[in-house]
Amino acid sequence: MMMLPLIFSVAARVAGTHDGASGAGAGETAHCRFCGGVIGTEPAGLSGDPDEVPSCALCHLVRHLDRPRIDDEALLIWLPEMSQPVLNCLVREMHCRLRALGETLHVEVSPLLDTEDRPVLWHAQQALLGRSEVAATRLGSAGPGDPADALVRLSPSAYGVRWRNLGGVRLLPRGRFFAGESDIYPEIVDGWRKAAASAVPRLSASDRGNG
């Protein structure tokens, strides 16, 4: 599967970007073309454009910064040492683990109990969240809605090279994804967990034929 570049975008300019690649066939697991993670259950309304390249919800946010409630769904952080696709894969794993533990997915809410790997997940999320202050200092705001407004107004030529000005700015999902007034993110995370549970198990050392 050829991966595609994941760059901050707005809806009006990602429409019609489907490259003709087919989705997953029966019994196959669809994978995101931008981060490589499983798409899982794609809730209705995640992608309103049938011509758009299918993506997971996290990459969908990056490519639709002009979503109505994007400031509730994500925030900007300064994280030059990690690419956006890698960050999305990391967040997906963290949120799947939090969901399995019965914890909230909201990034700013601390876990209920200090057991199992809750402290690790909490501190990892806080480390990422702390990078929003750097982004706010550099950009004037950590809200994704501001760059979305700027992207909408860019000329086609400037929009085509927008990645040059982004530097180490990344989009950190806040653990919410709205379809209208409903937060459907828990359903999305459950879809990832279901896809992971049904994935073909990896071969053990003995299965690989060590002799």
Chain residues binding Zn ion by CB under 5 A are 32, 34-35, 56, 59
Of 40 and 147, which CB lies nearer to Zn ion in the complex structure?
Answer: 40
Of 59 and 107, which CB lies nearer to Zn ion in the complex structure?
Answer: 59
Least Cβ distance, residue 33 to Zn ion (angstroms): 8
Of 53 and 56, which CB lies nearer to Zn ion in the complex structure?
Answer: 56
How many Cβ atoms sit within 10 Å of the Cβ of residue 46?
18
User: What is the amino acid identity at position 25?
Assistant: G
Least Cβ distance, residue 119 to Zn ion (angstroms): 27
User: What is the amino acid identity at position 149?
Assistant: D
Least Cβ distance, residue 34 to Zn ion (angstroms): 5
172 three-class SS: strand
Least Cβ distance, residue 88 to Zn ion (angstroms): 5
Strands (E), the chain: 74-78, 169-173, 178-179, 182-183
Q: Cα angle vertex 97, ends 105, 63, to 5°?
A: 55
- The pair of structure tokens assigned to 99 is 């969901």
Residue 119 backbone phi and psi in degrees, to 5: -60, -40
Of 32 and 46, which CB lies nearer to Zn ion in the complex structure?
Answer: 32
